Amino acid sequence: ANITYIEASGQATTLKLADGWSLMQGATANGVDGILGECGGSCACATCHCYVDEARLADLPPASDNELAMLDNVAAERRPGSRLACQIKASAALDGLIIHLPDMQE
Ligand code: FES
C-alpha cells in the first residue's frame, strides 16, 4: 500500500509498504523523521503518534483498549484522528492513506 507521511515541517514522503508492515516500521526504516518508535512497536511508548486523515479512519481496524490508553500519553495534541503508527498494519485497504505527523513525540 502507498502511504504518505506529512511531517510537521510540511515535508511529504510516500512509501510503498508491504502488507503487514506497520506504519511505524515503514517510517523508521525509511528515514521519516517524525516518528520515533522507541518501544519497537509494542504499544508502550506513544512516540509513534500520528494523525490519520479522518475521512479514512473507518478503513482502519479500531484502536485496541491498550492503544487508546497509550494515546492518553502522547506528547503532542491528541486529535480525533490520533493513532499509534505501530498499531496500524499496511494492507490494500489503506492504499493512498495520508497521515500527518505531530511536531513532537516526546
Ligand atoms: Fe512505541 Fe508505537 S512504537 S507505541
Q: For position 92, what pLDDT does the model report?
A: 97
Cα 76-78-82 angle, rounded to 5 deg: 110
Q: Give CA 98 to chain center in angstroms.
A: 10
Q: What domains appear along the chain, each with residue ranges and CATH number?
A: 2-93 (3.10.20.30)
pLDDT in tens, 25-64: 999 999 999 999 999 999 999 999 999 999 999 999 999 9
**Taken in order 62, 53, 33, 26, is the CA torsion positive or negative?**
positive
Tell me the C-alpha distance between 39 and 16, whole Å. Answer: 23
Say if ligand 1 is within 6 A of residue 25 CB: no
The pTM score is 0.97
E runs forming strands in the chain: 2-6, 12-16, 49-52, 82-84, 97-100
Which atom of ligand 1 approaches the CA of 40 most closely?
3
Band of the pLDDT at 23, cuts 50, 70, 90?
Answer: very high
